[in-house]
Chains A and B, each alone.
Chain A
């Protein structure tokens, strides 16, 4: 088996009903599993940003995927990156029984080692937060499971920002609009 690469697909879209459906249909048709998904309003009002990760053994397939997504009328721009192009991050929350945490004895060591933030402590439970790459949040999960036991665990989809200098979306939209103002559509 060829080694698969994790690709991050970033999509800017109009904030209309059903955009996610349009995007996932294209993943389904190309038989790609979505590993993680994160959606939020972007810096530009009315434009939403999707960050999706998926494994593939072919960069060509990623080019085709992105073009087919980009082609949808409600999609403004779609592109793909590999991990090396990106600063990326996930969030994880871990719920532990307070009683077990107190019994553990060296919580400070764990907190320092994993850079854990403690969000909540109550009579029943303690909630940890860790931000990081998948491997980091996973390592903490495994260590906590072994040593304390995890009552609940949740990890967010990836969010990412490119390292390279890229054209800003607002500039791209402005130049597109300028181009269409000049365009004379002739019909013979």
Chain B
């Protein structure tokens, strides 16, 4: 035996998995045990000081929590679940992470390799199920494959356009022993996460930007994932380009930046949507022209030259035909373009946004945020919360009306402050994602906005909050309806409110049963004081606010309609 071989330890697969995770810098795991993953949980028992495991109450919660953690912390989120139902319960979260490019490693137990394919107890074809919804899914059948598979998983999840990876580990691979050594993956011949910079296109993009009279930038999550916030601001400021954000691009640039024109899309701000069809150059940065942003593609920005910055080649020309592509990591490509563009001013063009903004303030925002009478409005609550946190909190949302109100009215002073389910639109995301966000950003205030419908989809995670004393602020905007569906029924289905009314439990009593402090507010007069109490309370707090049932999120671009076809509501016209 060679001398150096003597130093290689021979250990069990489950221990090898934990050591591999430690090698990747993992210190937090969200999970739930079960038969086929028990060896790993047993190994975890010896590493309690190095790895904190958060026992959620349902595997969907584990994945959403890992997502929330990854989104605020820049790290890879890790979830650990058992085979069969454990893995299938994780599927919604994995799909959500795929749609929103969130780096995750989801580890699922699997039946022993000799039982694979035999319909064994708690066996599911996890690879078959998850291949279409992951960046990579791999089944580990042999103990000796554990270190390299984990190493690849973290490399793939975190590089290029990030995404979820599933590792499905057969139970015998967890139990068997083999020599352990670990090396980080830095290259895979079949995978090109850092595409070669195409200087000709960079020059062409710069030249188009220099000639632009009415440029508009669209900022997506790619900027945040690429850690290119500073590079973006330098670029925008040098050429004086106004911009709108996608829902996931929110917080990349502070809300009060002079060039920030708000959010794009269906419930976005009026000005950037209207101006999309008036600009002469449209510069998309790390965004993918989702249908909720573009509306009808046939009428979308047809007058403009389109420059598309993206790291994922499959996004180029997928929905919108580009004039020039800038393929690559925005952190590298943005400065290259910035160097080649002239310092410019587009004040006349930027002034054109102002009357549209004023119109939105007059017709929609003032009434939503500062009503004099009647029931409490959702936007009003969100505005009060963001102001009470000096716009410094992490905003986590569920899906539906409260989500759109939060994305419209929450304000940001730092990046990675918006955690929401953008692409998949997963109700039930908010509460567990908020748990993860608190672990990812323990020093920040985490505010979770959730509706009465979405809360009840993952309400069991109140148990997790109780057990670990997780200091999250849960704001339940209760309209006793599935509000967004109700809104569509009012607008497009002749007010036929089919199955959208909900008889709800007493949420404050439920919170109380979980030993979580709660309070219900019905009167506007109590709202400020209640928010202040919630934020100053040292611990989790559930604030239920009863809001108007008939509240509508405006403006609205109807699905499939042109981005300039904006409904302002209440009889207002553009």
Contacts and interface: CB of A to CB of B under 8 A. Distances in A.
B227 A176 contact: no
- Residue with the highest number of chain B CB atoms closer than 10 Å, among A21, A68, A70, A71: A71
Interface string A145-188: 00000000000000000000000000001001101110101011
A63 B325 CA distance: 15
Interface in B78-129: 127-128
Contacts of B136: 73-74
A25 B132 contact: yes
Contacts of A187: 227
A63 B314 CA distance: 9
Given A176-B189, A179-B196, A187-B227, A73 B135 contact: yes
Nearest to A175: B196
A176 B186 CA distance: 13
Contacts of A181: 187
A22 B135 CA distance: 10
A185 B194 contact: yes
Give the secondary structure class of A's interface: helix
A173 B189 contact: yes
A60 B320 CA distance: 12
B313 A67 contact: yes
A29 to B, nearest CB: 8
Nearest to B163: A73
A17 B145 CA distance: 14
Contacts of B156: 73
Given A73-B136, A183-B194, A60 B317 contact: yes
Interface in A72-88: 73-76
Contacts of B495: none
A14 interface: yes
Contacts of B313: 67, 70-71
Contacts of B172: none
B366 interface: no
B6 interface: no
Given A18-B127, A64-B314, A187-B227, A75 B189 contact: no
B261 to A, nearest CB: 27
Contacts of B492: none
B314 A76 contact: no
Interface residues of A, number: 30
Nearest to A186: B331
A99 B113 CA distance: 52
A68 to B, nearest CB: 5
A8 interface: no
A137 interface: no
Contact of B131 (A22, A64, A68): A22
A51 interface: no
Contacts of B131: 18, 21-22, 25
A53 interface: no
B317 A64 contact: yes
A10 interface: no
Contact of B190 (A13, A60, A67): A13
A80 to B, nearest CB: 14
Interface string A1-35: 00000000000011011100110010001000000
Contacts of B189: 76, 173, 176-177
A148 B135 CA distance: 53
A185 B187 CA distance: 12
Given A25-B132, A177-B187, A71 B314 contact: yes
A67 B314 contact: yes
A68 B314 contact: yes
B525 interface: no
A74 B156 CA distance: 11
B509 interface: no
Interface string B165-197: 000000000000000000000111111101010
Given A18-B131, A21-B131, A22-B131, A75 B190 contact: yes
Interface of B: 127-128, 131-132, 135-139, 156, 186-192, 194, 196, 227, 312-314, 316-318, 331
6 contacts: A17-B139, A18-B128, A25-B131, A70-B313, A74-B136, A188-B331
Interface of A: 13-14, 16-18, 21-22, 25, 29, 60, 63-64, 67-68, 70-71, 73-76, 173, 176-177, 179-181, 183, 185, 187-188
